[in-house]
Amino acid sequence: MGIAVRQPAPRNASIRTAPIRTSAGLVEAGLAEASALPVLEQVAASFAVSVTDQMAGLIDPTDPNDPVARQFIPAGEELRTTPGELADPIGDGPHSPVKGIVHRYRDRVLLKAVNVCPVYCRFCFRREMVGPGSETLDGAELDAGLAYIAEHEEVWEVILTGGDPLILSPRRLAEIVTRLDAIPHIGIVRFHTRVPVVDPDRVTPELVAALKGKRIASWLMLHANHWRELNDTARSAIARLVDAGIPLLSQTVLLKGVNDDAETLTRTFRALVQARVKPHYLHQGDLAKGTSHFRTTIQRGRALMRELRGDVSGLCQPTYVLDIPGGHGKVPLTADYLAPDGEGGWTVTDPRGGRHAYSEE
C-alpha cells in the first residue's frame, strides 16, 4: 500500500529484546508524544501495557491512525466506560468450577494456565484479568485443573488460553500436553495465541515440539487483525508450525479504525491463507470496559461480510460471531440468505442482493 514502516532488524533468537512495558518507554521509543504521558499513565494504571519490538517495528509513528499502533499503544479513550461495558464481558466467571478452568460448552474447556501476554491488546476482553502480577496456575492448581478435565469424560477438547499460553517455556508446555495426552477421552488440544505474530522468535523448534502430543491432535488458533502484522518474520514462525504438522486457524476482531473496511479485511484474510492459516472467526468487539472506540455496529459487520462473500475466495471467509455477554456462548451473525416463499419453497438471496426461487421438489 506504499506505507513506509520501520522493519524489525534481524535478530539472534537467543538475544531477546524486552518489550516496552511503561508509558515512559513508549515516549522514549517515539511511539507516543511526551505531552500524552499523564493520560497514558492513567490508562496504564488500570490496563497493562506491553509492546514487543516486533510490533513496535511495524508502527509508523508519523501516522496518527496507524492500525498497528491503535491495537497496542494506550489511548485516552480507554478511560471512558459506557453503561453496557463489563469487567467479564463473555462470562468466564460463572462457568469456572475450578481455578483456571472455564467449562462453557459441554465437549470442551478452557485451561488458563497463565494470565500474562507478550503484548496487551487495547481491546482485550480479559483486559482486567491479565497483566504483570496476574496469577499463573501453580503446581497444585494445575493439578486440580487437570483432575477436573480427567473427571469429565464429556470433554473432548482442551483449549489453552489465558493470557497467552505460548509465553510458557517449552518444558512447561510439554508437561501440560503430555498430561493431557494421557487422558483417554481428550482428542484435541488447541492453543490460542498471538505469539507467532507479535513475538515470532519464541517459535523455536523446541516450542514447536512441545506443542505436539503422541496421541492427541494439536491445533493452533492465531490471533491477527491486520495484514501488516503478517510480515516475513511472522510468516516464517507460522511456517515452522505448519511444516511440523500443526494446523492453524485464525481469529480476528472487527475493530473500528483498524480493519473495518472490506479492502483491509480482504488483504488480511488473503495474507493469512497465503501463510497457510484458515480464517475461522471474525469477532464482533466484546463489551470490555474502555473499548467502545473500537466497536463497530453489527449492521456494519454484516455489510462487510456480505461484501466479502460476493468477491473473495471461500478460503478467506471466516464466520462473523458474537460472544453473548453473560457466558451464553458464540452465535454467528451472518446475513440470512434464505426465507420461505409462502408456497412451500424458498427465496434465496445471492451475495449481491438478487433474489431467486428455490424448490426442494
Determine whether 336 is an active site residue: no
Determine whether 6 is an active site residue: no
> Is 124 annotated for ligand binding?
yes
Catalytic choice (88, 92, 112, 117): 117
The residue among 35, 58, 10, 31 whose CA lies nearest residue 229 is 58
Determine whether 104 is an active site residue: yes
Identity of residue 226: H
Q: What is the largest CA-CA distance in the chain?
A: 70
Distance (Å, whole) CA 316 – CA 353: 21
Catalytic choice (11, 21, 108, 172): 108
What CA–CA distances, in Å, run from 276 to 61, 63, 164, 227, 259? 30, 30, 21, 14, 21
Q: How many CA atoms lie within 13 A of 317 on its CB side?
A: 14
Identity of residue 240: R
Determine whether 121 is an active site residue: yes
Catalytic choice (21, 60, 63, 105): 105
CB 22 within 8 A of CB 36: no
The residue among 6, 20, 18, 17 whose CA lies nearest residue 58 is 6
Catalytic choice (70, 112, 126, 235): 126
Determine whether 122 is an active site residue: no
Catalytic choice (11, 278, 302, 330): 330
Catalytic choice (66, 70, 92, 104): 104
Distance (Å, whole) CA 348 – CA 340: 9
Sheet holding 278-283, edge to edge: 101-105, 108-112, 157-161, 188-193, 217-223, 248-253, 278-283, 319-324, 329-332
Identity of residue 25: G
Determine whether 240 is an active site residue: no
> Is 316 annotated for ligand binding?
no
Determine whether 199 is an active site residue: no
Determine whether 316 is an active site residue: no
Distance (Å, whole) CA 1 – CA 31: 21
Determine whether 143 is an active site residue: no
Catalytic choice (124, 127, 201, 235): 124
Q: Is the peptide bond before 213 cis (omega within 30 degrees of 0)?
A: no
What CA–CA distances, in Å, run from 73 to 25, 49, 52, 199? 11, 8, 11, 16
Q: Is the dihedral of CA 268, 269, 273, 277 positive or negative?
A: positive
Determine whether 261 is an active site residue: no
Catalytic choice (92, 164, 199, 286): 286
Catalytic choice (88, 199, 201, 323): 323
Catalytic residues: 104-105, 108, 117, 121, 124, 126, 286, 323, 330
**Binding site members:** 117, 121, 124
**Binding site members for [4Fe-4S] cluster:** 117, 121, 124
